[in-house]
Amino acid sequence: MKSRNFLSKFEFVYEQFFLTIVTWIIYKRILFRCLPACSFFESKLILLGIIATQYIVKFVMKKIGNRNEVSISFDLISGYGIYTVLTYYQIRRTLVMNCLIIFGILSIIYSILIMSQKIKNRKEIGRTLCGRIVRIVSATQKFMGMGFTFIMLVSGINILFGSSIMKSKVNPETRASTNGQLSSNKMETLILLQEDSWSMLTIQERLDVLQTVANIERKYFGLPNELNIGAANLNEGIMGYYSDKTHEIILSMDSLLYDSPWILLDTVCHEAYHSYQYRMVDAWQGADECNKNLKLFSNANSYASEFNNYIEGDENFCDYYSQDCESDARKYAEDSVADYYLKIHEYLCEKEE
C-alpha cells in the first residue's frame, strides 16, 4: 500500500496538538454543550477522551495512520462529530439520523464494491483482503466525517448571523399593528403552553410558540424593533438574555429541553420588557431638557444609568437582583404570565361552549 506519510513524526504530533487546541477553542465557543446528566468538567473530559481515542486508534492501526493533514483533520472531525451526535441528538434528531443513515449507506455500498472485486493473485489473498479492509475503514471514516461535518455546520451556522444556534421558523413581526385583540390563530398557538401540549412539542416547535409570544409582546409594548427568538448553549443558571444590538432574546437550550412552559414564558416576557426599557431610555435621551423630568420618564434615567454600568449575576448576585431594570422586568413577567394563562383558560372555556 502506498505510503502517504507527508509529515515527519515530529511535524505530525505538532500539527495534531496545534489543531486540537485551535479547534477546541472554536468548538467550545460555538457548539459545546454538556452531555445529559454530566457536569461541565465531566463533559470536557469525555470530549477530550473521544478525541484522544481517535488518535490512539490511529497510532495502533499504523497502516491507516498516514501522517498528513487530511488524516489529522478527519481524526478531529470524527472526535467532535461523535460528541456532537451525543449532545445534539435531542435537539437535531432528524438531521442526525438522516446524516448517519445516508453516509452509513454510502460506506456500505463502497465496502461492497471493494470486497466484490476479483482477487487475481490467489497466493496473496490474505494480504489483499487486509489491504481492502484498511481502505474500507479509511473510507468509512471519511464518509462519516462528511456526515459529522454537515451535522456540525447545520447546527452552528446560525451563530454566524447572530447569537443563537437555533432560530424560530416563525417570522418576527416588524410592522406596527393597531389591532389589540389576539387572533384565533395566535390563541391556538398559545394553548400549546399548557404542560400536556408542551411536552409533546419538539424543541423547534417550542421556539416557534415562544416567537409568537415575542410578537405579541412587541405589539403590546409598541416596539419599533422586532424581537428575534433564538436558543444557545448558555452557562448554568442563565435561562435567557436580551441583546439590544441584535434585538435577540436568546434562550438556554437546556431550559427549552427541560423547563416547564411557564418558566420559558416568564423568561420571554422578562427579556421583552428589557427591550421596552431600552426604548424608554432612547425616548428620554431624545427628549428636550425641559421634558426630561416628566413623570413619563421617571424610570428611564435609572435604566440608562444601570445599562451603562450593568451588574451581571455572576459578579454580584444581590446587586444584580436589586437593579431597577431587573426588578421591574421580574414584576412585569410575573403579572404577564398569569395574564397569558388566564386568557388561555378563557379561550378554552369559550371553545367548549
DSSP 205-272: HHHHHHHHHHHHHHHHHT-SS--EEEEE-PPTT--EEEETTTTEEEEEHHHHHHS-HHHHHHHHHHHH
Total Cβ atoms within 10 A of residue 219 = 17
pLDDT tens-place string over residues 211-260: 999 999 999 999 999 999 999 999 888 999 999 988 999 999 999 999 99
pLDDT tens-place string over residues 34-69: 888 788 889 999 999 998 887 777 666 554 446 566
- Pairwise pLDDT comparison (9 vs 106), residue with the higher score: 106
CB-side exposure of 161: number of CA atoms within 13 Å?
10
- As a whole number, mean pLDDT of residues 324-328 equals 96
- Please, are residues 35 and 42 in contact by the beta-carbon 8 Å criterion? yes
